[in-house]
C-alpha cells in the first residue's frame, strides 16, 4: 500500500485529494494543526464520508520539528504540500503570517523531506496568482511571474524553492501552477462560494442583497475534483516538472454571478450590490491558463464545466440552508 502525507488535509483540496488517494488504495495521513474549535476540524472530510479513513498527525507548517516527526512516522512515498494561508485578501492584513506559513512553511516541508526521506516524491501547491499582473495573454509554464499580493509573493518563494531543490538535490519535486478551482467544499470567503451561498440565502428568503467587490475581474475556474487528479498525475511521472493546470476559459465575476443566480431562477442584477470593503489594494484583473503541457504530458483534461460546477454548488448551499431551517 503506498503511503501519502498531505499538509492542508482539512482544506478543500486536501479533502478531495484524500478521497482520490483512498480510492487508489493509498494509506492517507494528514498533518493537522491544533484548534480550540475541534468540531469544525475535518468538516470537509466528514462531508465526503472519509474522516475515519485518513490518519491525522499533529503538526504545523511553522514548526519543522513536527513535520520531521510526521515524516519519520509515516515514511511516505508521496508528500503533498497543500497547507497555506490561502485567502489572497487576508494576505494584506496578515502579510508576515502569510509569509511564514505559505513560503517558509513550504520550505520547512521540502527541507524536512530532504532530511528524512529524500526519495519521496513532493508536490507543491503553486498558484496562478504568481502571474498576477499578466505578462502574456495566456499564461503557461514559461510566462514570467508578476505577483500582486503578499500571498502571491509567498507562493513564488515556495515555487522557486521547489524548483531549486529539484535542481540542487535531484529530488522528485513538482510544482503544480493551479488556476482557481472550486467546489461545494470551497471556503465561504472565496468568491464562487460566497455567491452560491448568497444565492441560496436569497432564494430561501434569508437575505435580500449580496455585497460584492470587483465584478470585472476574470478568472479561469475549474472544479477541485478535476484538479487534484492533476496533482496525483504529476507525482506518477518518471521525471518531476512544473505544470499549469487550467481550463483555458476565462469568465468575469459578473458573469459567474449571472450563472449562479440563474441556476436558482433569479436575476443577479436584483440582488448584487458593490461594496468597497471587498475591493483589494492591488487586483489581479485577468487570469487565463494554457493547459497544453498538462494535456500532452499528463493526459489531463478537465471534465466539469463552470456551469455544472456552479449548479452543483448552488444545490449544495440550498441543501445546507434548508437543513439549518428545519
**Residue 136 has which C-alpha cell?**
502574456
* Residue 21 vs 191, nearer CB to ligand GDR: 191
The rounded distance, in Å, linking the Cα atoms of 60 and 8 is: 10
Residue 280's binding partner out of ligand NDP, ligand GDR, none, with CB under 5 to 8 Å set by partner kind: ligand GDR
Residue 88's binding partner out of ligand GDR, ligand NDP, none, with CB under 5 to 8 Å set by partner kind: ligand GDR
Residue 33's binding partner out of ligand NDP, ligand GDR, none, with CB under 5 to 8 Å set by partner kind: ligand NDP
Tell me which stretch binds ligand NDP (CB under 6 A): 4-12, 198-206, 246-254, 262-270.
Answer: 4-12
Q: Is 147 in the site for ligand NDP (CB under 6 A)?
A: no
* Residue 60 vs 290, nearer CB to ligand NDP: 60
**Residue 17 has which C-alpha cell?**
485529494
- Exposed, middle or buried, 269 (CB in 10 Å: 0-12/13-18/19+)? exposed
Annotate 266-322 with three-state secondary structure. CCHHHCEEECHHHCCCCCCCECCECCHHHHHHHCCCCCCCHHHHHHHHHHHHHHHHH
**Residue 295 has which C-alpha cell?**
494535456
- Cα 107-112-114 angle, rounded to 5 deg: 95
Interface positions, 126-145, toward ligand NDP (CB under 6 A): 127
* Residue 170 vs 187, nearer CB to ligand NDP: 187
Q: Is 89 in the site for ligand NDP (CB under 6 A)?
A: no
**What secondary structure does DSSP assign to 136-175, as a single string?**
SSSB-TTSPP---SHHHHHHHHHHHHHHHHHHHH---EEE
Q: Can you tell me which residue has the cell 465561504?
A: 188
The rounded distance, in Å, linking the Cα atoms of 208 and 256 is: 18
Q: Which of 75, 118, 187, 216 binds ligand NDP (CB under 6 A)?
A: 187
User: What is the dihedral sign for C-alpha 288, 231, 126, 311?
Assistant: positive
Q: Is 251 in the site for ligand NDP (CB under 6 A)?
A: no
* Count of beta carbons in the 10 Å neighbourhood of residue 315: 15
**Residues at the contact surface with ligand GDR, assessed by CB under 6 A:** 86, 88-89, 127-129, 179-180, 189-191, 194, 212-214, 217, 219, 253, 278, 280, 283-284
3-class state of residue 121 by DSSP:
strand
* Position of minimal CB gap to ligand NDP: 11
Q: Which of 4, 13, 232, 318 binds ligand NDP (CB under 6 A)?
A: 13
Q: Which of 107, 166, 181, 203 binds ligand NDP (CB under 6 A)?
A: 181
Give the nearest distance from C-beta 206 to ligand GDR in angstroms: 18
Interface positions, 32-71, toward ligand NDP (CB under 6 A): 33, 35, 60-62
Give the nearest distance from C-beta 99 to ligand NDP in angstroms: 12
Please give the residue ranges that form the binding site for ligand NDP (CB under 6 A): 7-14, 31, 33, 35, 60-62, 82-86, 101, 105, 125, 127, 178, 180-181, 187
Amino acid at each position: 500500500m503506498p503511503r501519502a502525507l498531505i499538509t492542508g488535509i482539512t482544506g478543500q483540496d486536501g479533502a478531495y485529494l484524500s478521497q482520490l488517494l483512498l480510492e487508489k488504495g493509498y494509506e492517507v495521513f494528514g498533518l493537522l494543526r491544533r484548534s480550540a474549535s475541534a468540531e469544525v476540524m475535518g468538516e470537509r472530510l466528514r462531508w465526503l464520508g472519509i474522516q475515519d479513513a485518513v490518519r491525522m498527525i499533529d503538526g504545523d507548517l511553522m514548526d519543522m520539528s513536527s513535520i520531521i516527526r510526521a515524516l519519520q512516522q509515516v515514511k511516505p512515498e508521496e508528500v503533498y504540500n497543500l497547507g497555506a494561508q490561502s485567502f489572497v485578501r487576508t494576505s494584506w492584513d496578515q502579510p508576515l503570517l502569510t509569509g511564514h506559513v505559505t513560503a517558509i512553511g513550504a520550505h520547512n516541508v521540502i527541507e524536512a523531506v530532504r532530511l528524512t526521506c529524500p526519495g519521496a516524491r513532493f508536490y507543491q501547491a503553486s498558484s496562478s496568482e504568481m502571474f498576477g499582473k499578466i505578462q502574456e495573454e495566456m499564461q503557461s509554464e514559461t510566462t514570467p511571474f508578476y505577483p500582486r499580493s503578499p500571498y502571491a509573493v509567498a507562493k513564488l518563494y515556495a515555487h522557486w524553492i521547489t524548483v531549486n531543490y529539484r535542481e540542487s538535490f535531484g529530488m522528485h519535486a513538482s510544482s503544480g501552477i493551479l488556476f482557481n478551482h472550486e467546489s461545494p467544499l470551497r471556503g465561504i470567503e472565496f468568491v464562487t462560494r460566497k455567491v452560491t451561498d448568497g444565492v441560496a440565502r436569497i432564494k430561501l428568503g434569508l437575505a435580500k442583497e449580496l455585497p460584492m467587490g470587483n465584478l470585472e475581474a476574470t478568472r479561469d475556474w475549474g472544479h477541485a475534483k478535476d484538479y487534484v487528479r492533476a496533482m496525483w498525475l504529476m507525482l506518477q511521472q518518471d521525471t518531476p516538472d512544473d505544470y499549469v493546470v487550467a481550463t483555458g476559459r476565462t469568465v468575469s465575476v459578473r458573469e459567474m454571478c449571472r450563472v449562479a443566480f440563474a441556476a436558482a431562477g433569479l436575476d443577479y442584477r436584483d440582488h448584487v450590490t458593490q461594496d468597497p470593503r471587498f475591493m483589494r489594494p492591488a487586483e489581479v484583473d485577468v487570469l487565463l491558463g494554457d493547459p497544453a503541457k498538462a494535456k500532452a504530458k499528463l493526459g489531463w483534461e478537465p471534465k466539469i464545466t463552470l456551469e455544472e460546477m456552479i449548479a452543483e454548488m448552488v444545490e449544495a448551499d440550498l441543501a445546507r440552508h434548508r437543513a439549518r431551517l428545519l
